[in-house]
Structure 1
Amino acid sequence: MARRSKTYSGPVTDHFNGRHFFDPDGVPPKSVRHILRWQFGGERKRSVWPEWAPSPHADTPPERVDGSRARLSFVGHASWLIQTGGLNILVDPVWSERVSPFSFAGPKRHNDPGIAFDALPRIDAVLVSHGHYDHLDIRTLSKLTARFAPRVVTPLGNDLTMLEKDSKIRAEAFDWHDRVELSSEIAVTLVPTRHWSARGLFDRNTALWASFVLETPAGKIYIVCDSGYGTGKHFRRVAEAHGPIRLAILPIGAYEPRWFMQDQHMNPQDAVQALADCGAEMALAHHHGTFQLTDEAIDAPALALGEALDAAGVAREKFAVLKPGQVVEI
């Protein structure tokens, strides 16, 4: 894969050294040698997913949700439609068949999006957490731009990735801790998360990654699209700086093998601890069941989450696992 022709340039900070972003409380991404060991090493045990695992649900959202309610529709993987305060907001929208730089190879969908693209209401804003292909999907962003021309809020450097492919995307790039007003009632703050970013082999961490705290009339929603757990410091800091949190959206999938994935992806046990750390009233699980990125079985994250909640003495209703097309209202 070719390196992007443009990369972010800005002042040195506590998480940018002038060329690359880094997490002061994290670790660098695994090396190519580690990738080859995982992919081709003799110890690999990759579960086989069913070719197609359709969801029995499909959502047709309303045009708007007003008042003090929030309606969250699970599109699949890490994609959500959040409707609240009269705004329609998409998170990491992916309607493409594959999450890959290629249309003919790479991780392929195992179920349809929970909302058909033509059933989407008018989209006002899009939040894109980082540059990995299962989160930043240029094809989908271009389709959204052509139909709705929404604002696209993303961490530093990812705007360059978008605009290089489609100059009409209304990309706005921000740093950690920046607060962006989306309307008089709704704002989003980009917060640090334990992850990394790349579009190819030679552009690692030249763009930033983030989680989001979304302020809504229904309360604050903490959206973690991709994260390792580490010591849990990031989650506790969100509780301290942004609490109380009404709802957390936390990843539970893409975690095996642990020796490779633990620094960048939480497993269900980590996610239960992250829920406790951030202090949210309840959580919704995502980042599982649509694209096979790692080695665990398609149903392993949901099963392991139930076991982890039981072991922690947390009611299973507090941390819900949805299928694409299911809806939660708060």
Structure 2
Amino acid sequence: MKRRHFLSLAGLGAMAAGFGLFGVRRASANPYYDGPVSDHFDGTYFFNPGGREPGSFLDLLKWQLGETKTPWPETFDSPFPPARPDERVGGTELRITMVGHATMLIQTAGLNILTDPVWSERASPVSFAGPRRINQPGIALDALPPIDVILLSHNHYDHLDLDTLAALHAAHRPLIVTPLGNDVIVRERVADAWIAVHDWGEGVEVAPGINVRLEPAHHWSARGTRDRRMALWAAFVVETPGGRIYHIGDTGFHSGINYRAAAEKYGGFRLAILPFGAYEPRWFMQGQHQNPAEAVEGMLLSRSAHVAGHHWGTFRLTNEGIEDPVTALHAALDGRSIARERFRPMRPGEVWDVPAEQA
């Protein structure tokens, strides 16, 4: 049975900031980035070429006050116990461990990489409101192996968590690879962070023989009421001895344009790490979050042999039921005659040794 959920004023404000949906007031200049105009930067604001702009605050009110949400449980414990990862995974092996939401540990070629690390209790600018974690992280923060690299895709609160970044910096001093403008946000909290900041199409060698390259994703950014689309968002391609990894923190499907471009540029991937949750209602979320059927289409268009699915089951962001993404994912895979084990909807604590690429 469905029932309506209404946010408190504080919760609505936290969600609006988290999604970057306050757009009424704008700063006169970009506080994060000052660079040349490009095909996705107009001198003040970043944008998706040929894409959709984010919804307005009035759209947010229409969604929150006029839509029915499928209830979620208070807790959604993972069937997997908290993982205790090996210190390193060598050679061409590729191991993925799910922490929760968009946070994953990638281990390959002796390198340890974290994606969009969030260990906080809420994905929110405040500690008392906003989306709350309903399961524990799949790796305890103090159980992490040495972290070498962080891939930071954009600045929404469910992806850029300053408390977590400060803790990781104190313990590991990793290299943070992130798109333009996000370095300024990180340095507000971690002044001496080691950051490689790049535009789409650029990259950095993070270890001998391992490169990280930034590529387009269809999304946007904001931390508050005056900085909408002032820091860039990106997907990542990690080139390793064991094959290429395509990591996307958040994206709308965008007619598959970015997936096709990635396949054409790189020739396919051993693993894609793709979001497939937080997608209803479509009229509001389509430009921001792809749905499971679109994620499966993205798998095919990008020529990815395997997919680690994320962005579901930890923070409630949208209308669908907590297990609806998995049901829809399996239906989409079955409808395309794709073996379910090729696209794994990851749960906290789950460890996956990704099969090697076929010759």
Q: Secondary structure at the match of 1:208?
A: coil
For the residues of structure 1 that align with 2:300 and 2:267, how far apart are their CA atoms?
A: 12
- In the alignment of these two chains, the number of paired residues is 328
Deviation at 1:67, TM superposition (A): 1.1
Matched ranges for 1:1-330 at <5 A: 6-41=31-66, 44-57=67-80, 58-330=82-354
Question: Would you say the 8 A contact 1:247–1:280 is kept in 2?
Answer: yes
Aligned AA for 2:291?
N
Query: How far did 1:318 drift?
Result: 1.5
Aligned residue type for 1:295 = N
Structure 1's consecutive aligned runs of 4 or more residues displaced over 6 angstroms after TM superposition are 1-5
Kept after mapping to 1: 8 A contact 2:31/2:230: no
Which residue identity does 1:257 align to in structure 2? P
Distance 1:205 1:292 in 2: 23
> Quick check: 1:85–1:185 contact (8 Å CA) kept in 2?
no
- How big is each residue's C-alpha offset from its partner over 1:176-200, in whole Å with a ceiling of 9 and x where there is no partner? 0112100112111100011111111
Report sequence identity in percent: 52
In 1, are the aligned partners of 2:274 and 2:295 still within 8 Å (CA)? yes
**Bigger mean CA deviation after superposition, 194-203 or 131-140:** 194-203
Task: Quote the Cα distance in structure 1 between the aligned partners of 2:171 and 2:160.
Answer: 18
74 and 295 in structure 1: CA distance in 2 versus 1, 3 angstrom threshold: same
Kept in 2: contact 1:213–1:221 (CA 8 A): yes
Deviation readout 1:215-266 (Å, 9 max, x if unpaired): 1121001111101112101000000001221111111100000100011100
2:5 maps to none
- Give the conservation status (yes or no) of the 8 Å contact 1:153–1:172: yes
Normalising to structure 1: TM-score of the pair? Answer: 0.97
Deviation string for 1:37-83 (max 9, x for gaps)? 11112xx0112111111112121001111111111111110001011
Residue segments in structure 1 that go unaligned for 5+ positions in a row: none
Q: Which amino acid aligns with 1:45?
A: T
- For the 8 Å contact 1:141–1:169, the answer to whether it is kept is no
1:35 partner amino acid: L
Tell me, yes or no, if the aligned pair for 1:82 and 1:88 is still in contact at 8 Å: yes
Instruction: Using structure 2 for the length normalisation, give the TM-score.
Output: 0.89
1:3–1:200 contact (8 Å) kept in structure 2 = no
Q: Using the alignment, how far apart are the partners of 1:179 and 1:169 within structure 2?
A: 18
Looking at structure 2, the residues matched to 310 and 139 of structure 1 have their Cα atoms a distance apart, in angstroms, of 41
Q: Match for 1:256: what amino acid?
A: E
- In structure 2, stretches of 5+ residues that fail to align are 1-16, 18-24, 355-359
> 1:3 Cα deviation (Å)?
8.2
Shift in Å, 1:87: 1.0
For 2:69 and 2:192, locate their aligned partners in 1 and report how far apart those are by CA, in whole Å: 40
Alpha-carbon separation, structure 2, partners of 1:126 and 1:79? 10
The alignment's C-alpha RMSD in Å is 1.4
One-letter amino acid of the structure 1 residue matched with residue 335 of structure 2: A
d(CA) in 1 for partners of 2:317, 2:192: 30
Measure how far apart 1:165 and its partner are. Answer: 2.3
Distance in 2, Cα, partners of 1:3 & 1:286: 32
Range with bigger deviation, 32-41 or 100-109: 32-41
In the alignment, residue 11 of structure 1 is paired with which amino acid?
P
Distance in 1, matches of 2:137 and 2:278, equals: 19
- The SS at the match of 2:188 is helix
Shift of 1:153: 0.6
* Alpha-carbon distance in 1 for matches of 2:172, 2:180: 23
Partner of 2:10: none
